[in-house]
Structure 1
Amino acid sequence: MKVLITGGSGFIGAELCRRLAGHGHALTVLSRSPARARAKLPEDTRVVASLDEIGDDEVIDGIVNLAGENLFTRRWSESRKRTLMASRLDTTRELVALCRRLDTTPSVMVSGSAVGFYGDAGDAELT
């Protein structure tokens, strides 16, 4: 598969990239710091700084969205909370726009943003 990954050089993303590449998948990683990301990623990984670098005619089979500002770098002020939220929402919106402009829509997009597991709560809403 051809997989686009955001947050691919992060804690979870870097391991995911190693495993996907190990199974022969072609990877494209979106990164704010391409040079730094390349050092953490499998050798044949394509790294882009913007989704605009992906052509409308390119085929992407799946997207894994793990992007977002690091939650643990400083205290969560009101301003910091807005930054954390925007870093996740803006990237997701950009990925949706990418899907809309691609000639062939990816068959799957998985989006994750969490650092914990709450257990099986059945149908209860977790906040």
Structure 2
Amino acid sequence: MNTRIELVEAKVEDHVLILEPAEISSGLEQSDVKAQGQMLVDSDQLAFIYILESEDEFVYASLPHQIWPHLKEALDKEYKVAMKLNGKQIELENLTEELRYLLENIKDNANYGDEMESKVVELFSLS
């Protein structure tokens, strides 16, 4: 079974955008989670998904549209992006590169759905 966590809190510290979940799934408390450097799109939930891996499962870190302005700031200012999980900070390697790639693919692409495409264009100021 794969775990999904929603990263809903964001702050910048020392040129790093740090994302945190509102709550942690109990199964992840003892788990050592590693970044995989890959992202997906969840058009139904209007979210980007960053893939992490623990010993026995994939962990999907959801980046909902509410925190996209923080992601845009990280892109614009070339901040690194990390997440805090159980007091441990994990760099989300390759996130900005993956996000730029996805943004270009989503723009003017109906395959992601009208709402996803319009929110991406609006929030990331794509033209």
On whether the aligned pair clears a TM of 0.5, the verdict is no
TM-score normalised over the length of structure 1: 0.27
Larger strand fraction of residues: 2
